[in-house]
Structure 1
Amino acid sequence: MKEESPKKSQKLKNKIPAKKRTIITIAFAALLILGTALTYPFYIHAMNHESTDDAFVEAHVVAISPRVSGHVAEVCVADNQMVRKGQVIARIDNRDYQVELDIAKSRMASANATVKEAEAMIVASSKELSQRRAELSSQTASLSRYRAQVSEAEAGHFRDANDLTRISSIAKAGAISIQEFDHAKAQEKMSSANLRSAKSNIHTQNAKIQEAQAGIEAAAGKLQQAYAQAEMRKANLLEAQAQVRQAELNLSYTNITAPCTGYITKKSVEAGNYVMAGQKLLNIVNPDVWIIANFKETQIKDMREGQHVDIEVDSFPGIEFSGHVDSIQRGTGSRFTLLPPENAAGNFIKVVQRVPVKIVLDANEDAEKLAPGMSVVPSVDITGGETKSIDVASSERRD
């Protein structure tokens, strides 16, 4: 087919009225402006926001386990029921633990009685030691008196012996009578006997003093033994008191209470079951929830704490949720798996990693509808937030 000549095309254009051409041009321009106006906000939003569909609702989930073993006497909650902190969830048959508490209290009373007995022994031993010391003081005073008597007896014997010697010389000259000589001899023998008796008393008193000292040592040893016995019995009393406290705790543990406010989930216990200490009975889900969004590592460059986040929840498409970036995990998700990847291997393939970002919801009464595990799509406004980004924070920490 032959191409149309320029002249022929010009002729065809000339056939279209000028007014109609103007209208077409204006309509085309209007459509172009309208399309630009409609798509520009989406373009700006895409440039200023980062979003991901790899995000889920998270919450504190507390696993409830008994601290003592026994048969479950009563279960006070049902699945999905809301409980308050301190509310009784279940009761374990406490009769065995009540008996253990009674036995522990009896042992404590017995230990307390033995402590009082030991304290009485200390008092008695202290009195005995005081008596022994007083006896020693008395015997020591008697020894001093006997020593004075020995000195007196020695002086008397010395006088009588001198008198006998002098009288003997005079008696040889016949200047005195035999009767006077015999009296001097008897006086000397008497004073000698008194001296021997006084010295004998000294020896006897020394023996008594040694006996008193031995009594003091025995009484002191007995007192020390009483103190040691008291300390041992006090230790036994402390042990008995600790056993009572432990028995009281075990008895209190038969009432299983909620450690926090939340909703009962995954209940697997019924009345009559025998449960072991540490056995999982149910979970309590805390109503305070947050979002964990796993962004690609290429998306968090301009992400900062405090940035606004719009949140869409798959379960509630008609409800708008909002929040803000709370923190960015220092490490990718794969780094904290059970078997982290070994990048030093020769078959390394670069894969874009995901970095968990914690998003806290703003105050919203509809937030109570959210449950852990729900899928969400967060969109982070990367134009706001704090001035310190994750990269700046990391460099400051290195410095």
Structure 2
Amino acid sequence: MNKITELRRDADERKLDRTEPMPEVAPAVPLEAAEAPPARWRRRPLRIGILLMAIAALAVFGGRWLVARWSHVSIDDARIAASLVTVSSEVSGEVLAIPVTAGERIEAGELLVSLDPEPAELVIAGTEARIAALDAQVEQLRAQKDMIRSQIESRLAAARAQITAAEANHAASEAELRNVQSHFDRIATLASRRIATPQAKEDAQARLDTARQQELAAAAAIETARANLDVVQSDAGQLAIIDRQIAKLAAEKTGLEAERAQKLIDLRSSKVSAAFAGVVDATFVDQGEYVTPGTRLLIYHRPDEVWVDANVKETDFRKIRVGAPATISVDAYPGREFRGEVERVGGAATSQLALLPSPNPSGNFTKVTQRVPIRVSIDTGGEVLSPGMMVVLSIDVGN
């Protein structure tokens, strides 16, 4: 305790021995300068003004952001889309020429791909030769039919005439038979009275028998003539057979004509032309390649018919209405804004259209916000917008 006291005393003595410097007297200054506020006080209103402007700007932009968040749905993964038409080969053949390249503009009717037409031309020539042969056979059968018809008509006329003659002969034989029968009756009566001789009766009987046989022969001749008529009429069935042969050849000709028509289509298909004016997006074959039906040749689209395809969150889907205006910013044209409107909304989420949907059979479920596809029209304003370009889409849903 004494030691501590001694230490404190020594410290006090050292303080007393230290000489303190005299304070310096400030030089005299003018009264105006003495009354002026410090510089930091002069800068304070400027700082306050800047702060107020910053707060006002933050309020304005923040308000706009809040209004935009409430009245607009923004999608930043949208793309330009179009109807990409894939042109495929309808026939087999070697590619003789493909005069267009990717990125080239084409007009409607312009030649896109030329295939070798020779196989189709050969098949068409062979088919036409077979059709000509069938036509010759048909003409031959028709001539044969005309000849048979003429012969049958002549034979029918002869048979009918023969029947008429036989009937006339039979009528004459019947008249002769009646006459002979009457004569025999008179002779028989006279012979029974012993007026006529037995020889006269025998002669009358002989004449009667002959007349009867002649009448029977005349009747048989009628039947023969009628039978000949039936034979001739049955020969007319050959005309029906010829008609069936002609019909068969006509059916074969129809089949060949259909085959020729198909080959003519194949021949026309060997020249692939543009169905509409557009832009070639890609080609898949080169000159000299052999293609088969269904082989992709190229893809092209109409540059003036493009739109925006986007996928909107299901939480924002209820806000989207068909006809809602939209503002579109295309990455390829920074600083430009394009106008459009919602054309249609999808009927199912994109997950339902996946090639391999996930039914989640294990029960381990993680809820993920789904996306629903929508389509938005776009006024290109004369600019060239290619399918696949990225855009930022802002849809006005405030109304």
Q: TM-score, normalised by structure 2?
A: 0.81
Aligned-partner SS, 1:317: coil
Structure 2 equivalent of residue 9 of structure 1: none
Verify the 8 A CA contact 2:330 2:391 in the aligned structure 1.
Answer: yes
Q: Spell out the pairing of 1:1-399 with structure 2 (5 A cutoff).
A: 32-171=55-194, 175=195, 178=197, 182-183=199-200, 185-219=202-236, 221-287=237-303, 288-343=305-360, 345-362=362-379, 364-366=381-383, 369-384=384-399
Q: Which amino acid aligns with 1:374?
A: M
Q: Is the 8 A contact 1:157 1:195 kept in 2?
A: no
Query: What CA deviation, in whole Å up to 9, does each residue of 1:143-167 have, x standing for no partner?
Result: 4324423431331232022122112
SS of equivalent residue, structure 1 residue 319: coil
Which segment drifts farther, 238-247 or 185-194?
185-194
> 2-side partners of 1:60 and 1:256: how far apart?
19
Q: 1:354 offset after TM fit, Å?
A: 0.5
**Alpha-carbon distance, 1:31 to partner:** 5.5
Equivalent-residue separation in structure 2 for 1:236 and 1:89 (angstroms): 37
Partner of 2:4: none
Change (3 A) 1:75 1:35: closer
**Contact 2:79 2:391 (C-alpha < 8 Å) held by counterparts:** yes
How far the C-alpha of 1:381 sits from its partner, in A, is: 0.4
Change (3 A) 1:168 1:124: same
The separation in 1 between residues aligned to 2:380 and 2:332, in whole angstroms, is: 19
Q: Take 2:298 and 2:50, find their aligned partners in 1: how far apart are those partners? A: 67
Separation in 2 of the partners of 1:97 and 1:24?
89
For structure 1, which runs of at least 5 residues remain unmatched after alignment? 1-18, 385-399
How many angstroms apart in 1 are the aligned matches of 2:308 and 2:243? Answer: 65
Is the 8 Å Cα contact of residues 73 and 93 (structure 1) preserved in structure 2? Answer: yes
Q: Distance in 2 between matches of 1:320 and 1:313?
A: 7
Identity of matched residues, %: 24
| C-alpha displacement of 1:298 | 0.4
2:286 maps to amino acid: E
Q: Structure 2 CA distance, aligned partners of 1:269 and 1:26?
A: 70
Deviation at 1:133, TM superposition (A): 4.0
Structure 2 gap segments, 5+ residues each: 1-41
- Matched to 1:111, the amino acid is L
**Cα offset, 1:194, TM superposition:** 2.3
Say if 2:78 and 2:310, in contact at 8 Å, map to a contact too. Answer: yes
- 1:69-120 CA deviation, whole Å, 9 max, x = no partner? 2222222112211112221112122223222221111112222222233333
**Any idea what SS the aligned residue of 2:266 has?**
helix
Q: Give the Å deviation of 1:23.
A: 9.5
Distance in 2 of aligned mates of 1:243 and 1:313: 53
My pick for the range that moved more, 93-102 or 186-195, is 186-195
SS at match of 1:52: strand
Find the residue that maps to 2:83 and give its secondary structure: strand
Cα–Cα, structure 1 residues 316 and 215, in superposed 2: closer, same or farther, change >3 Å? Answer: same
**Does the 8 Å contact 1:72/1:93 carry over to 2?**
yes
Cα distance, 1:125–1:340 mapped onto 2, change above 3 Å = farther
1:184 deviation in Å? 5.2
Q: Distance in 1 between matches of 2:119 and 2:313?
A: 57
Q: What corresponds to 1:13 in structure 2?
A: none
Contact 1:312 1:376 (8 Å CA) reproduced: yes
Partner SS, residue 54 of structure 1: strand
CA RMSD of aligned residues (A): 2.8
Matched residue SS, 2:391: strand
Is the CA contact (8 Å cut-off) linking 1:104 and 1:247 kept in structure 2? Answer: no
CA contact (8 A) 2:166 2:221 kept: no
Partner of 1:6: none
1:252 match: secondary structure: helix
Q: Which amino acid aligns with 1:270?
A: D
- Equivalent position amino acid for 1:281 in 2: L
Contact 1:309 1:324 in 2 (8 A): yes
1:383 Cα shift? 2.6
Q: Structure 1 pair 54/24, CA: closer, same or farther in 2 (3 Å)? A: closer
Q: Any conservation in 2 of the 1:160–1:184 contact (CA below 8 Å)?
A: no
Q: Identify the range of structure 1 (54-63 vs 270-279) with the bigger mean alpha-carbon deviation.
A: 270-279
Q: Distance in 2 between matches of 1:309 and 1:259?
A: 32
Which digits, 9 at most, give the CA deviation of each residue in 1:189-242, with x for residues without a partner?
A: 2243122112112113202311320221232x2121011111101101111211
Please identify the structure whose Cα radius of gyration is greater.
2
